[in-house]
Amino acid sequence: MSSVTVTFRGIPEEILDKMVEYGIAETKSEAIRVALVNFGIEMGLLSELELVKSLRAQLAERKPSHVKVAEEIERAKIESLR
C-alpha cells in the first residue's frame, strides 16, 4: 500500500467534489482510486477481467456483513457481563 499527499485546485478539485456529491465515491480518496482504475482500463494498463479477479479476491477475504454484525453483538454481550 502507498500513501501520497496531493493538493488539488481548480478543475481537478471540482471533479473530485462532484464525484463525492453525485455519490460516485464516498470520499475524495475513493474518488481518486476510482478515477485511477478507470484511467488504467482506458489506457489498456488494466483489463476489466483483471479488475474483476482482483475485486473477487478482495471480497473473498472479507466476512459477510451479517457475520460481522453477529460478532459485534456477541462481543457487546460479553462486555456487558463484565
What is the domain range of residue 38? Answer: 11-81
Using CA atoms, how far apart are residues 69 and 41, in angstroms rounded to an integer? 35
User: Does the residue 6 lie in any domain?
Assistant: no
User: Does the residue 43 lie in any domain?
Assistant: yes
User: Does the residue 1 lie in any domain?
Assistant: no
User: Does the residue 68 lie in any domain?
Assistant: yes
Q: Say if pTM beats, i.e. exceeds, 0.85.
A: no
C-alpha cell at 39: 484511467
User: Does the residue 4 lie in any domain?
Assistant: no
Predicted pLDDT of residue 36:
92
User: Does the residue 47 lie in any domain?
Assistant: yes
- Kindly indicate the confidence band of residue 81, based on its pLDDT and cuts at 50, 70 and 90: confident
Count of structural domains within the chain? 1
Q: What is the pLDDT of residues 31-71, one digit of tens each?
A: 999 999 889 989 999 888 898 888 888 877 776 677 777 88
Residue type, 47: S
Question: Percent of the chain scored above 70 by pLDDT?
Answer: 96
User: Does the residue 35 lie in any domain?
Assistant: yes
User: Does the residue 24 lie in any domain?
Assistant: yes
Mean pLDDT for the chain overall: 87
Angle at 35 between CA 11 and CA 8, to 5 degrees: 35
Angle at 33 between CA 29 and CA 39, to 5 degrees: 140
Predicted pLDDT of residue 64:
66
Nearest to 51 by CA among 32, 31, 36: 36
